[in-house]
Chain A
Amino acid sequence: MWAGTTRKADGQRMTNWEAGTTAPTSPTSLTPLPRPAPDPLRGAGSGPWWMDTMDAVIRSCHTHGRPDLAERLTRRRTRLLHPQLRVLVLGGPAQGRSRLINALINAPVCGIVPDSETEVPTVVQHAAAPVAHLVQRDSPAADWTAAVGMRSRIPLTTERLGPSLAEVTASLPPGTPLHADVGVPRTLLANGLVLIDAPALSFSAPGGAVAAAQDLADRAGADLVLYVCETGRPLGDAEVGVLAALGQVFPGLVVVLTKADYAADWRRDLAEARQRLHRAGINAGVTAVSSALRAQAVRAGDDALNRESGFADLIVHLRQMVEAKPDRLARATAAALGRIAVQELAVPLRAELDKQDDDAVPESARHLQVTHQHLDDLRKSTVRWQNRLSDEVTDLMADVEHDLRERVKAIIADADEFFGEADPAKSWDEFEPWLRQSLQELAQTSMSWLSERTEWMARRTADMFPLEAGDVLPPTALAVTGGSSDGAYGLDAPPVAAFTPGQKLFIGLRGSYGGIVMFGLATSLAGMSLINPISIGGGALFGGKSVHDESKTLLKRRQAEARAAVRQYVDDIFAKLNKDSRDSVRRAQRALRDHFMAVTEDLQEAAMESLRNAKAAADRDAAARELRGRTLRAELTRLAELHTQSLALGERNSA
């Protein structure tokens, strides 16, 4: 018969392929394999070795702050210790999931609501008599295997399962997390096999089908996943993604190509699917079955047809998996889970370590450097401001003196000009207040200018401080005090050479004597007497001239005396003012120096303090980093050990 031979040949090929170097190494084979040799490392009394590894991984998850991962692993661990083998039948819409289960157990229990997609998942397990319940879970995330109260277990009529399921589902609010729990008396299920018909995977769902599939498998408590895909179409990219994700955590993953009876060439499809999975590096077995043929075979009791349907191999495989569960499958699962979990844990650690290596200069060290720099700046600025202050003071003194001198000169020039015309004897009272006023003004101007300059000097000096020192100006403008208030004492009039009438008479007589004699002599020749009217006239003329000349000389002398007196006086004032202003400048210099010195000291002290702090922080930080690095490396080493352990589990499994 053709069918027998081709099927056999195909089985042969499958065996060869799976035993090759590229073959998957987990127990996905659909053909019988020799039982593994007893494990020498496994003590008779102690628990299985895989549990130790798994517990270690779970502990690591806790220590690394991943309680979610730990919880998932704990659930899987509990599941692995359970004698039942829960097989999740997963796949896209209308791929024949329900029909596969129905054909396996030869009872219409799944997908019974006519022409609609499976919405309520069905869990099929062994029972002495047909029994069905609808289980209402507390939340969508609740574990299916968890014990539920009686209230949330609604019995269904087994004779008319479909309608009764539809009725009960319709009576519940939409979106209630539900699954049907069906028990059927089948020998296939008797040794603990549980089949779960899952709702269709939606590949366009938000969040992706991968997460949905993993979530479903996790909540359903699956030990093994059968991925169902119809023949006649290639595996889609999204499907391969789902398979890759499932293959990592479910070592026994099998891809079942359904509807093999109807496909034009199911052998080609099978080969293509295998190649595709192999290329994607997915560790999964592939088989092709026909639910229709199986149903027909069971109805007709046709053994050849049953073999042709591909179900015989699938059933053998499932039986083997049930047997292998406490040992081989559990070990492989533990190995895979451990590997994945450890890898997941290692990712953040490695990232942190890399980051630590990457930024060579940490924040604290940078801060230390900045503080150092700051202190240095401060030191430099001390010298600078001192130089600046002394320079400024020298400049200021020179400037003040020069300025005073210029102003005094101007006053003297004014006074000289005044006394070029005026008679001091007459206009002294007018002149004296003017002079005093001018000198007072001079002193005031000079003082205010001095105080301005002093302020400016303070600012200039303050500029020498580094910016970060902030406002270092003295709080109030330094008061420039000088003896200007009593600067211009009164100036008495210089002694005036008086020209009294007696003197005038004497001078006049002395002058007129010459005139009388001269004219008298001349007229005597004419026979006149020496004293005659003419000589008297000449004498009067000569006397008047003498008096006039004398008074002019006296005025000149007075003016010269007044000038000299004014000059002397102004010089005195100048000297006094100059002295005062120098004193003020010196006082200001001293005040500024003291102030800036104090500021500098304060700043330096603060900088020193922050430097000390920064140094301490940097030291602490370096120590902490060192410690963290060591811890990280140690953790990674521990994880690597766990990884090796998990790998070893897997390897011994395949050995």
Chain B
Amino acid sequence: MISEDLEKRTHDLLVKAAHVYREHPRAAARLRQTMDRFAGPLRVAVAGGARSGRSTLVNALVGEDVAPLEPAVFVTYRDGTQPRAWCHPEQGRPYEVPVARSPEGLRLGVDTAVPAAGAPARAVVQWPSRVLRRTELIDTGLPVAAGRVLPEADAVLLLAPRIGEPEWEFLRAGRGMRGPAAVPIHAIMVLTMADTHGDGQPSGLLEARRIARRRRREPSLGALCQDVVAMSPLIGHAARTLRDAEFRALTAIAALPRAEADPFLLSTDRFSAAASLPVVDPRMRQALLRRFGLGGIRLALTLARTGSTTRSGLADKLHEYSGLKDLQTSVAELFTARRSALKARSALIVLDQLFRTELLPPSAQLLAELELLVAGAHDFTELRLLSALRSGRVELPKEVALEAHRLLGGAGTSLGERLALATEATTTEIWTTAVTSTERWRQESTLADRTPAQRRAAAVVLRSCEALQAGLAATRGDL
């Protein structure tokens, strides 16, 4: 459909470029790498400053402790049949390193193999995980320079406690002035440390999410990234890997009368002191503190007291309250489901740059083709509108907002998902639904009582409908 078209045309352009530049070793190597990446999984970079929770977030997203304890610049996580790891030093060939799981996390046997050079330049961790199957995660390490991170990834999760000047700079650097780079569909801003809001009380998390909601409506920020999500990687990670012992300890504390337990929840000192809360072993309490943080413990206790009586129930609630679920939804809707658009964007950025710097007689022609392709890339427009709808920068009436979201591919990009049809729908049914949708949105885009922004949004949805219908007509013609 729409995405497939973009994917195919981008691929064609890549092949054409490879043919044109076959005599130029540098450009050819670059194109080969781009082709490989285009064919490979989506690469999502997790970038952020020191102690912004990059590796914790990676662990939380994968749901397992996959981040190595040893800090490294650029750790790539990819799917594989068994846990393995490689080191890519600055010079020399990559070599495999042994992997050992420890209670604190993953331990790579790098120290034996690497001379005193310190952390290896790049590491690749292979891990059998469903999350990583079609998406590679990249922990970019320090320092966070947009120029280093962006060429390595198709999409970026930018982590920061708050949006400060470095974050603005990073986001601005990601948005080019022209061509495919001008569509900022590649970034989601993640406000970590949501658990420290409001003195680390459970209400602080809600407060943080409220702030994030307000920030994502800001047009200046919306023009640079797709979404702003507030979350706590620490609590999210703990929720996804909640252990039985931890659950038992938490319920034991939650079972105490509040007057008895609350004084010990005032500070980390009080909570972890040997003499406090005799119902739980001090070492267990220390471990809880490490895994949840004080805010996480308070949240878990509140949840345990208000009805989450099973381990999975508590984990689910924690998962939701930590903001991890929001982030996962955003990533799924804006990144994973649209991997072809994102990969096409990365490839087109490389091509755009190539056609402008390595001038050959056919490059002007290729550049014109690329510009045509970018101008007609409806996927990018759909993604921007989805982001605007999510953040509330554009508000459609409630009754049509959901349908718009669906037709834009927010619930899945297949024909059935876009038109909300059952799998057994007949061709005629599909055709009728598509035609009705097109008609409805044609009307919607001309309604007089809508604001200009709403009419523009409706026009985008109409274009999606028309593309669906055109695709259908083509298949019918084939039949």
Contacts and interface: CB of A to CB of B under 8 A. Distances in A.
A260 B275 contact: no
Contacts of B196: 259, 262
B162 A94 contact: yes
Given A204-B165, A232-B51, A261 B269 contact: yes
A3 B266 CA distance: 12
Nearest to B294: A262
A266 B268 contact: yes
B211 interface: yes
A39 B176 CA distance: 68
Given A93-B162, A259-B196, A115 B275 contact: no
Interface in A84-121: 93-94, 115
B166 A204 contact: yes
Contacts of B269: 2-3, 6, 260-261, 266, 308
A308 B268 contact: no
Nearest to B275: A2
Given A115-B211, A233-B50, A264-B290, A3 B270 contact: yes
Nearest to A296: B266
A202 B165 contact: yes
B309 interface: no
Interface string B411-442: 00000000000000000000000000000000
B368 interface: no
A309 to B, nearest CB: 8
Contacts of A259: 196
Contacts of A203: 165
Contacts of A264: 268, 289-290, 293
Contacts of A115: 207, 210-211
A396 interface: no
Contact of B266 (A2, A265, A266, A293): A293
B375 interface: no
Contacts of A305: 266
A69 to B, nearest CB: 31
Nearest to A117: B162
Interface in B74-111: none
B288 to A, nearest CB: 11
B41 interface: no
Interface residues on B, range: 20 to 34
B68 interface: no
Contacts of A290: 267
Contacts of A262: 196, 199-200, 267-268, 293-295
A115 B197 CA distance: 10
B168 to A, nearest CB: 9
Contacts of A3: 269-270, 273
Contacts of A1: 275
Nearest to A6: B269
A262 B196 CA distance: 8
A204 B267 contact: no
B266 A261 contact: yes
B71 interface: no
Contact of B51 (A204, A233, A296): A233
A2 B268 contact: no
B164 interface: yes
B291 to A, nearest CB: 11
B128 interface: no
B161 interface: yes
A292 B162 contact: no
Contact of B164 (A93, A260, A265, A293): A93
Interface in A28-64: none
Nearest to A263: B268
Nearest to A260: B267
A204 B161 CA distance: 16
A204 B266 contact: no
A93 B169 CA distance: 17
Contacts of B161: 94
A292 B269 CA distance: 13
A575 to B, nearest CB: 90
A317 to B, nearest CB: 21
Contacts of B142: none
A234 B289 CA distance: 20
A263 B290 CA distance: 10
A274 to B, nearest CB: 19
B293 A293 contact: no
A248 to B, nearest CB: 26
A292 B198 CA distance: 9
Interface string B182-201: 00000000000000100110
Interface string B246-278: 000000000000000000001111100111100
Interface in B289-307: 289-290, 293-295
B6 to A, nearest CB: 37
A305 B270 CA distance: 10
B16 to A, nearest CB: 43
A115 B161 CA distance: 14
Contacts of B274: 2
B51 A261 contact: no
Nearest to B211: A115
Contacts of A232: 51
A103 to B, nearest CB: 11
Interface string B152-174: 00000000011011100100000
A261 B207 contact: no
Contacts of B293: 262, 264
A292 B210 CA distance: 22
Interface in B206-234: 207, 210-211
A308 B162 contact: no
Nearest to A304: B263
A209 B455 CA distance: 47
Interface in A249-276: 259-266
Contacts of A234: 50
B162 A261 contact: no
Contacts of B270: 3, 308
Most buried by A among B164, B210, B295: B164
A206 to B, nearest CB: 10
B398 to A, nearest CB: 27
A261 to B, nearest CB: 3
A468 to B, nearest CB: 58
B294 to A, nearest CB: 5
Given A262-B199, A292-B199, A204 B50 contact: no
Contacts of B165: 202-204
B198 to A, nearest CB: 9
Most buried by B among A3, A93, A234, A262: A262
A1 B269 CA distance: 12
A262 B270 CA distance: 10
Contacts of A233: 50-51
A264 B196 CA distance: 12
A655 B251 CA distance: 58
A100 to B, nearest CB: 13
Given A264-B290, A292-B266, 16 more contacts: A2-B269, A2-B275, A3-B273, A203-B165, A204-B164, A204-B165, A233-B51, A234-B50, A260-B267, A261-B266, A261-B268, A261-B294, A262-B295, A264-B268, A265-B268, A290-B267
Interface of B: 50-51, 161-162, 164-166, 169, 196, 199-200, 207, 210-211, 266-270, 273-276, 289-290, 293-295
> Which 9 residue pairs are nearest across A and B when measured between Cβ atoms?
A261-B267, A204-B165, A292-B199, A2-B273, A262-B200, A262-B294, A233-B51, A115-B211, A2-B275
19 contacts: A2-B273, A2-B274, A2-B276, A3-B273, A94-B161, A204-B165, A232-B51, A234-B50, A260-B267, A260-B269, A262-B293, A264-B290, A264-B293, A292-B200, A292-B267, A293-B267, A305-B266, A308-B267, A308-B270
